[in-house]
Amino acid sequence: MATDLIDRFGRVHTDLRISVTDRCNFRCQYCMPAEGMEWLDRSDLLTFEEIERIARVLVETFAVKSVRLTGGEPTVRARLPVLVAKLANLGVDLSMTTNGATLAMFADDLRSAGLQRLNISLDTLDPARFLELTRRDELAKVLDGIDAAVAAGFSPVKINAVLMRGINDDEVLRFLRMGRERGVTVRFIEFMPLDAQGEWSADRVISHDEILEQASTEFDFEPIARGTSPAERFAYTDGGGEFGIIASVSEPFCESCDRIRLTAEGQVRNCLFALEHVDLRQLLRGGGTDEEIARAVAGEVDRKWAGHAIGQVHFLRPSKSMSQLGG
């Protein structure tokens, strides 16, 4: 019988985030540098069989209930629907975060393979600004991908928008209108110190309260009971759907976080901001048993901190940027 995966603070971990690649088809300004990015060799990536084995051990041993595929950009990994089908057979809530640029080509195949939900990262609705942020002129493709995801039957489809002062903080209402028009849920995410350039500062964060203030100038809404979700959710009073805010910086939710992360090269990290990890790739390829995998993961989770400490004097940035860790 499966037992709970509990850290030293009594938090139960049931959500596994799996980065399937460190590569991306964008070079987003705040995810990776324009030049000099060191990619993993293909042999360093976990195989689909290795990913499925780790996920199965965590589901069967620790009752992990949800798995999210991330990157880099997961759709650049060849034959991704094959991995989706393997993980769907585990009976988990299976979702994926993508930039949406090629989603119009893959949405139906991913849905047929067993993917249930989609999060699409999109930080601007302005074509010129999109080109500046991503170094790709592909906003139209992303919008087509959003529509393809809805048409394929994914529900909900969520749009993740990271707001940055002086960059896109004037687009809150534009995003909310788009969400209502396309039937998707917009979630605003506070800018976190995981940018590849190392230029993050607290004054660039658009806070939870600022977002609500802008939203209230045009829409009426009320809060929805939160539960363990990282997003605080708000329902439009006219029945036009909902939106959310993930206030990782101004209102951190570390005390209820239930996530663990597996990087593309097999590192288990107990927090997005963890400075250390346990190497499962070495264990797998060295003949490790399922029991040894479970013990290694449990030991890493037990070392989880009380919180990430962003904004405090003792905060230390992790060595990897968001593009390498996944969301």
To the nearest whole number, what is the mean pLDDT of the chain? 88
C-alpha distances in Å from residue 29, one per residue of 135, 194, 197, 199, 273: 8, 12, 8, 11, 20
The domain that holds 196 is classified in CATH as 3.20.20.70
Residue 271 amino acid letter = C
Residue 189 lies in a domain: yes
pLDDT in the model for residue 312:
47
pLDDT band at 256 (very low <50, low <70, confident <90, very high): confident
Q: Which residue has the higher pLDDT, 284 or 227?
A: 284
**What are 19-61's pLDDT values in tens digits?**
999 888 666 655 655 555 667 888 999 999 999 999 999 999 9
DSSP at 254:
G
Question: How many angstroms separate the CA atoms of 173 and 215, rounded?
Answer: 6
Residue 89 lies in a domain: yes
Question: How many angstroms separate the CA atoms of 142 and 133, rounded?
Answer: 14
Within 8 A by CB and 6+ apart from 227, the residues are none
Please choose, from the candidates 300, 222, 299, 313, the residue with its C-alpha nearest in 3D space to the C-alpha of residue 261: 300
Percentage of the chain exceeding pLDDT 70: 84
**What are 5-16's pLDDT values in tens digits?**
998 888 899 999
User: Is residue 323 pLDDT above 60, yes or no?
Assistant: no
pLDDT band at 318 (very low <50, low <70, confident <90, very high): low
User: Is residue 314 pLDDT above 50, yes or no?
Assistant: no
pLDDT in the model for residue 98:
96
Percentage of the chain exceeding pLDDT 90: 67
User: Is residue 281 pLDDT above 90, yes or no?
Assistant: yes
**What are 215-252's pLDDT values in tens digits?**
999 999 999 987 667 889 999 999 999 999 998 777 76
Please choose, from the candidates 216, 244, 221, the residue with its C-alpha nearest in 3D space to the C-alpha of residue 232: 244
Residue holding tokens 């605003």? 188
**What are 132-190's pLDDT values in tens digits?**
998 899 999 999 999 999 999 999 999 999 999 999 999 999 999 999 999 999 999 98
pLDDT band at 276 (very low <50, low <70, confident <90, very high): confident
Residue 65 lies in a domain: yes
> Domain range holding 191?
15-325
Q: How many domains does the chain have?
A: 1
Q: Which of 71-85, 198-212, 226-240, 301-315 has the lowest mean pLDDT?
A: 301-315
Q: Is the pTM value of this prediction over 0.85?
A: yes
pLDDT band at 193 (very low <50, low <70, confident <90, very high): low
Q: What are phi and psi of 274, to 5 degrees?
A: -65, 145
pLDDT in the model for residue 313:
40
pLDDT band at 271 (very low <50, low <70, confident <90, very high): confident
Residue 28 lies in a domain: yes
